[in-house]
Amino acid sequence: MTFHPLQAVIQRAAALRPAWLQASGPLNIPNDLMVTQSGCDIHNDQMNSLWFELTECEAGRSYPGFREVQLKFIREPPL
Protein backbone atom coordinates (compact mmCIF):
# COMPACT_ATOMS: atom_id res chain seq x y z
CA MET A 1 0.00 0.00 0.00
CA THR A 2 1.36 3.41 -0.97
CA PHE A 3 1.12 6.10 1.71
CA HIS A 4 0.04 9.55 0.44
CA PRO A 5 0.14 12.84 2.40
CA LEU A 6 -3.63 13.21 1.94
CA GLN A 7 -4.13 9.91 3.74
CA ALA A 8 -2.13 11.24 6.70
CA VAL A 9 -4.41 14.29 6.93
CA ILE A 10 -7.53 12.11 6.78
CA GLN A 11 -6.20 9.76 9.44
CA ARG A 12 -5.29 12.67 11.76
CA ALA A 13 -8.77 14.15 11.28
CA ALA A 14 -10.33 10.75 11.94
CA ALA A 15 -8.50 10.58 15.28
CA LEU A 16 -10.31 13.76 16.40
CA ARG A 17 -13.78 12.22 16.02
CA PRO A 18 -15.74 11.42 19.18
CA ALA A 19 -15.61 7.80 20.36
CA TRP A 20 -19.18 7.03 19.22
CA LEU A 21 -18.23 8.03 15.67
CA GLN A 22 -14.97 6.05 15.48
CA ALA A 23 -14.61 3.31 12.85
CA SER A 24 -14.51 -0.20 14.24
CA GLY A 25 -11.45 -1.12 12.14
CA PRO A 26 -8.61 0.57 10.27
CA LEU A 27 -9.51 3.11 7.61
CA ASN A 28 -9.36 1.69 4.10
CA ILE A 29 -8.73 4.73 1.91
CA PRO A 30 -8.51 4.05 -1.83
CA ASN A 31 -5.67 5.75 -3.67
CA ASP A 32 -7.55 6.47 -6.90
CA LEU A 33 -7.56 10.25 -6.36
CA MET A 34 -4.43 12.38 -6.03
CA VAL A 35 -4.41 16.10 -5.24
CA THR A 36 -1.46 17.58 -7.12
CA GLN A 37 -2.03 21.25 -6.20
CA SER A 38 -4.45 23.27 -4.14
CA GLY A 39 -5.06 26.88 -3.28
CA CYS A 40 -7.62 29.48 -2.31
CA ASP A 41 -9.14 32.55 -3.90
CA ILE A 42 -9.03 35.62 -1.63
CA HIS A 43 -10.49 39.04 -2.47
CA ASN A 44 -10.92 41.96 -0.05
CA ASP A 45 -9.61 39.85 2.87
CA GLN A 46 -12.32 37.22 2.30
CA MET A 47 -11.73 33.66 1.22
CA ASN A 48 -14.17 33.03 -1.64
CA SER A 49 -13.24 29.54 -2.79
CA LEU A 50 -10.85 26.62 -2.46
CA TRP A 51 -9.52 24.94 -5.61
CA PHE A 52 -7.85 21.61 -6.20
CA GLU A 53 -5.96 20.16 -9.17
CA LEU A 54 -6.74 16.44 -9.18
CA THR A 55 -5.81 13.28 -11.01
CA GLU A 56 -8.45 10.55 -10.87
CA CYS A 57 -7.45 6.99 -11.80
CA GLU A 58 -9.97 4.42 -12.96
CA ALA A 59 -9.59 1.21 -14.98
CA GLY A 60 -5.94 1.94 -15.72
CA ARG A 61 -6.61 5.44 -17.11
CA SER A 62 -5.82 8.83 -15.57
CA TYR A 63 -8.19 11.77 -15.74
CA PRO A 64 -6.70 15.16 -14.78
CA GLY A 65 -9.04 17.93 -13.71
CA PHE A 66 -9.87 20.75 -11.36
CA ARG A 67 -12.49 21.13 -8.63
CA GLU A 68 -13.57 24.31 -6.92
CA VAL A 69 -15.49 24.69 -3.67
CA GLN A 70 -17.20 28.07 -3.36
CA LEU A 71 -17.52 29.34 0.20
CA LYS A 72 -20.66 31.17 1.27
CA PHE A 73 -21.62 32.71 4.58
CA ILE A 74 -25.12 31.69 5.67
CA ARG A 75 -26.61 33.51 8.65
CA GLU A 76 -29.37 30.95 9.19
CA PRO A 77 -29.49 27.40 7.88
CA PRO A 78 -32.23 26.79 5.31
CA LEU A 79 -35.23 24.88 6.66
Structure confidence by residue, pLDDT tens digits, 48-63: 999 999 999 988 899 9
Backbone angles phi, psi at 44, to 5 degrees: 50, 45
What's the pLDDT at 1?
47
DSSP H/E element including 6: helix 5-15
**Residue 69 pLDDT grade (very low, low, confident, very high; cuts 50, 70, 90):** very high
Residue 29 makes CB contacts below 8 A (sequence gap 6+) with 7, 10, 11
How far is it, in rounded angstroms, from Cα 51 to Cα 25? 32
pLDDT at 27 over 70: no
